[in-house]
Amino acid sequence: MTLTSARTVPGVLELLPAEQIAFQDMLDTIRRNYERFGFLPIETPVMEFSEVLLTKQGGETERQVYFVQSTGALEQGGRPELALRFDLTVPLARYVAEHEHALSFPFRRYQMQRVYRGERAQRGRFREFYQCDIDVIGKDSLSVRYDAEMPAVIYSVFRDLDIGPFQIQLNNRKLMRGYFESLGIADEQQAGVLREVDKLDKHGEEAVRAVLAGPGHGLGDGAVDRIMSFIGVRSQDHADALARLDALQGSGARFEQGRAELREVLGLIRAFGVPESHYALNLSIARGLDYYTGTVYETRLVQHPQIGSICSGGRYDDLAGSYTKSHLPGVGISIGATRLFWQLREAGLLGPVQSTVQVLVTMMDEAQLPAYLALAAQLRGAGIATEAVMEPSKLARQFRHADRAGIRFVVVLGPDELARDMVTLKDMRKQEQFQVPRGELVKTLRVELEQATAMARMGRG
Amino acid sequence: MTLTSARTVPGVLELLPAEQIAFQDMLDTIRRNYERFGFLPIETPVMEFSEVLLTKQGGETERQVYFVQSTGALEQGGRPELALRFDLTVPLARYVAEHEHALSFPFRRYQMQRVYRGERAQRGRFREFYQCDIDVIGKDSLSVRYDAEMPAVIYSVFRDLDIGPFQIQLNNRKLMRGYFESLGIADEQQAGVLREVDKLDKHGEEAVRAVLAGPGHGLGDGAVDRIMSFIGVRSQDHADALARLDALQGSGARFEQGRAELREVLGLIRAFGVPESHYALNLSIARGLDYYTGTVYETRLVQHPQIGSICSGGRYDDLAGSYTKSHLPGVGISIGATRLFWQLREAGLLGPVQSTVQVLVTMMDEAQLPAYLALAAQLRGAGIATEAVMEPSKLARQFRHADRAGIRFVVVLGPDELARDMVTLKDMRKQEQFQVPRGELVKTLRVELEQATAMARMGRG
């Protein structure tokens, strides 16, 4: 028989079990924190009607969409009726519009699912990747206070992910556009200027200066200087952030509204208990062009700036204008978990392999299989994840399997142990082994496993 | 602006948050049990190369496949290169063949993902649904002992799901085919007979009898009687199962091998600690035609037989013959979680709404927002899922929100409480409220939440 080559489609991140466990751990930590802040889960289908998905977006997004057709539809020809979601925001808009009367507002939802983009295959670019989003959606209005809740969630997530020091950076689109306005840059010119500002990290200050002063924008030296000094603002601590806001030389209603919002948001971030080392102003953050209308966020690993923002988002005026006449303002953030995991792996920031399996019950004597299975059943009944060896092999080989798989504890039940109603327990990490009375095994393991978890949290696992 | 109608594609189960929480709970319970038995997680991409996905299957399956094309590929025309997975077995085969040298065997994996089938839209039929699979894959060989582990996992999962009494039913394809052989039914005739036997539940005994005796199969009355009495075998308890096996009047190597396997599997199921009320022989189970080669399983809710099997699977000879020359026998089971959830909902078997949010911190006086946020931060820091009210409204309305959303505990921090460093805690379920010193709130809530969880487990929530 001819064999078909077993290969995954390019541009996806398929993991081996040990890596999958680490990835699942990351997702669990994110979810736990989203739930801790009172966000409710939803999931939407991977497919949406093409006309629903592509109502607003054009250009880039539409070119990257994956279309879906059943065998029947394919045979009939014609444009595909279905497409795969490319983010979680459009499905959220459709969901909220469709179920509006069954939801209570402000609607606080989290959603952690994969999204699809027909990107050109490229290192670190994925065609399938997880997004982990939270949004708060108001009906008619939504207090700016919710803008302060997002950094509190971000802080809590990345503190628990324990991947090194990080900083949440804030800006406000009203502040930024109001500032441009007070420099005499008209509304229709601002999109172009924002687009250049967005390139600051990639292209550097000189390049951005040159373009702003060049024929396309034609800004005078004074205006360019003031823009560069505005987008250069970074704060050191809480008081410094407020002082820098106060010192900004802008004017006009939009500018002042942006400034007032940022002040309130900064104050509440502190009230949420976020340490001031973990948030700062960064007035260069623009986050794209049209969508966001108020507060915007990015999050950076202090020791790995090259990774870029690992959690971004912001405030928008109207979520679902394409589907409903209701006015639904919102604020939200997104963590691109697949890309983050890949980057952490590349940077060597993932911890040692740790299996979901906590205990391996070895097989010393095949005739004693029922005794091994009873022991495994006892551990499982106590909630301890246990693999039982089912086929005979050398004990050394069974230990090697535990070692390679990252299984921390190995249990041996030999004739000697059986006779004395004891169990030999080996800690593979510490390379220590000791005997425990059978009746105390569960208790002993619980203590050991709790200690192991606590040590791992302290980075000393 | 013209509005686009916000609607989901037909044939998917999209849930409101309260239902999503219940569904997520079901998935978590399944996963916890899979991990408890030492299965390792994998996830595969939703898309596979069409040639990889459609290598074996033809007919029905191929007609139900969803094909995927990026915008670029669509413009170029031609057959779609990609398709959505329609089960988790083909992706597992591809995964094991692709990563064979990086995996350790027996490879124990669990996988809980959605699959896609272009079914005709029909009540209770889904085009997108979760499958929750476990499989053990051996290299070259795999002990029949693993066949006994599957019912142990099934027992553990459905005990924890707590959806009423259930029974795991077993048969063995070797036993069944060997029995047919000893009736003189040739190998090539057996598939047809099995197909009829598979219809027993749907069509009833008389109809099956008539077809077997009819022109298509042309079996004599004696053979039909013996087939009907074979497939009528159901055991009452463990001893009865062994006795009924002993009493079977078949012959030949295949028959005897099947009988020996079932005996061993029954013995080990008991050693795994599965109560004998929860497993039985059901010699009518055939589970399709070609795939399974040994033990086969189905699982039924005793009080809801109309729901059919809620967890099925079996032993197969070779997982990945299309992709690799390695011989990879395996055994596995699958829970169709979306369909199960839908059926439980239809049957009114889902418990009361219970939010992931455990505590609502109310807003009595807007000026005290920082105090409310600090309180919420304290609860969240202790791992308690907490929603804080961020915008002022009448306290009664805030309580109503908690009540509707299924949030169990509500915290009130009024001027009186603030002055005395106390907190008022209301249990919405019991409609009791009491005051707690601020410093003891976390401890008190932990005790209350643990009690609530314990009571819910005992079905008295």
DSSP string, A278-322: GEEEBTT---SSSSEEEEEEEEEETT-GGG--SSEEEEES-S-TT
Instruction: Spell out which residues of chain A touch residue B40, defining contact as CB-CB under 8 Å.
Output: 17, 20-21, 355-357
Which secondary-structure segment (H or E) carries A82? Answer: strand A82-84
- Amino acid in the structure at residue B386: T
Distance of residue B95 Cα from the nearest chain A Cα, in angstroms: 7
Residues 6+ apart with CB under 8 A from B400: none
pLDDT tens digits for range B390-429: 999 999 999 999 999 999 999 999 999 999 999 999 999 9
Cβ-contact B16, A102 below 8 angstroms? yes
CB spacing of A355 vs B55 below 8 angstroms: no
CB spacing of B4 vs A146 below 8 angstroms: no
| Nearest CB to B386; choose among A38, A109, A381 | A38
**How confident is the model at residue A409, as a pLDDT?**
97
Instruction: Spell out which residues of chain A touch residue B35, defining contact as CB-CB under 8 Å.
Output: 356-357, 385
The pLDDT of residue A334 is above 90: yes
CA-CA distance, B65 to B323, in Å (whole number)? 20
**How confident is the model at residue A289, as a pLDDT?**
60
Residues 6+ apart with CB under 8 A from B3: A322, A323, A324, A325
Q: What is the mean pLDDT of residues A209-228?
A: 91
Please give the mean pLDDT across all residues of chain B. 93
Residue B335 pLDDT level (bands cut at 50, 70, 90):
very high
Higher pLDDT, A434 or A59: A434
CA-CA distance, A133 to B18, in Å (whole number)? 18
CB spacing of A271 vs B373 below 8 angstroms: yes
Burial class (CB in 10 A: 0-12, 13-18, 19+), B202: exposed
**How confident is the model at residue B381, as a pLDDT?**
95
Beta pairing partners, B287: none
Instruction: Spell out which residues of chain A touch residue B354, defining contact as CB-CB under 8 Å.
Output: none
**How confident is the model at residue B291, as a pLDDT?**
85
Grouping H, G, I as helix, E, B as strand and the rest as coil, residue A136 is: strand
**How confident is the model at residue A191, as a pLDDT?**
85
Q: What is the mean pLDDT of residues A267-273?
A: 97
Among A8, A17, A343, CA closest to A161: A343
Q: Assess whether the previous peptide bond of B437 is cis (omega < 30° from 0).
A: no
The pLDDT of residue A62 is above 70: no
Residues 6+ apart with CB under 8 A from A79: A50
Beta pairing partners, B66: A70
Instruction: Spell out which residues of chain B touch residue A114, defining contact as CB-CB under 8 Å.
Output: 46
The pLDDT of residue B460 is above 80: no
CA-CA distance, B350 to B451, in Å (whole number)? 20
Burial class (CB in 10 A: 0-12, 13-18, 19+), B362: buried
**How confident is the model at residue A198, as a pLDDT?**
83
**How confident is the model at residue B1, as a pLDDT?**
66
Among B87, B388, B420, CA closest to A273: B388
Q: What is the mean pLDDT of residues B280-295?
A: 89
Among A113, A22, A165, A184, CA closest to A336: A113
Residue B289 pLDDT level (bands cut at 50, 70, 90):
low
Other CB atoms within 10 A of residue A221 CB: 10
The pLDDT of residue B16 is above 70: yes
Q: How far is CA A346 from the centre of its chain?
A: 17
Q: Could you give the residue ranges of the DSSP H alpha helices within A84-144?
A: 89-98
Angle between helices B205-213 and B221-231 in degrees, nearest 10: 140
Please tell me the least confidently modeled range out of A229-238, A342-351, A387-396, B61-70. Answer: B61-70
**How confident is the model at residue B59, as a pLDDT?**
55
pLDDT tens digits for range B197-225: 888 888 989 999 999 999 888 899 899 99
Question: What percent of chain A stands above pLDDT 90?
Answer: 81
Phi, psi (degrees; rounded to nearest 5) at A268: -75, -30
The pLDDT of residue B25 is above 90: yes
Among B183, B303, B306, CA closest to B255: B183
**How confident is the model at residue B461, as a pLDDT?**
35
CA-CA distance, A27 to A132, in Å (whole number)? 8
**How confident is the model at residue A461, as a pLDDT?**
35
Q: Assess whether the previous peptide bond of A165 is cis (omega < 30° from 0).
A: no
Scanning the structure block, which residue is given the tokens 């959303």? B405
**How confident is the model at residue B195, as a pLDDT?**
86
Residue B105 CB-half CA count within 13 A: 17
Beta pairing partners, B279: B168
- Amino acid in the structure at residue A430: K
Cβ-contact A297, A310 below 8 angstroms? no
Cα-Cα-Cα-Cα torsion A264, A270, A274, A278, nearest 10 degrees, comes to 70
pLDDT tens digits for range B55-104: 865 555 666 899 999 988 888 888 899 999 999 999 999 999 999 999 99
Beta pairing partners, B411: B361, B425
CA-CA distance, B381 to B388, in Å (whole number)? 14
CB spacing of B273 vs A8 below 8 angstroms: no
The pLDDT of residue A58 is above 60: no
| Nearest CB to A45; choose among B128, B152, B320 | B128
Q: What is the mean pLDDT of residues A16-24?
A: 96
Q: Which two tokens stand for residue A361?
A: 């019950």
Model-level pTM? Answer: 0.95
The pLDDT of residue A460 is above 50: no
| Nearest CB to B42; choose among A20, A108, A128 | A20
pLDDT tens digits for range B125-159: 899 999 999 999 999 999 999 999 999 999 999 99
pLDDT tens digits for range A101-120: 999 999 999 999 999 998 88
Grouping H, G, I as helix, E, B as strand and the rest as coil, residue B438 is: helix
pLDDT tens digits for range B41-55: 999 999 999 999 988
Total CB pairs under 8 A between chain A and B: 286
CA-CA distance, A248 to A240, in Å (whole number)? 12
The pLDDT of residue B243 is above 60: yes
**How confident is the model at residue B354, as a pLDDT?**
85
CB spacing of B386 vs A36 below 8 angstroms: yes
Cβ-contact B67, B81 below 8 angstroms? no
Angle between helices A337-346 and A17-36 in degrees, nearest 10: 130
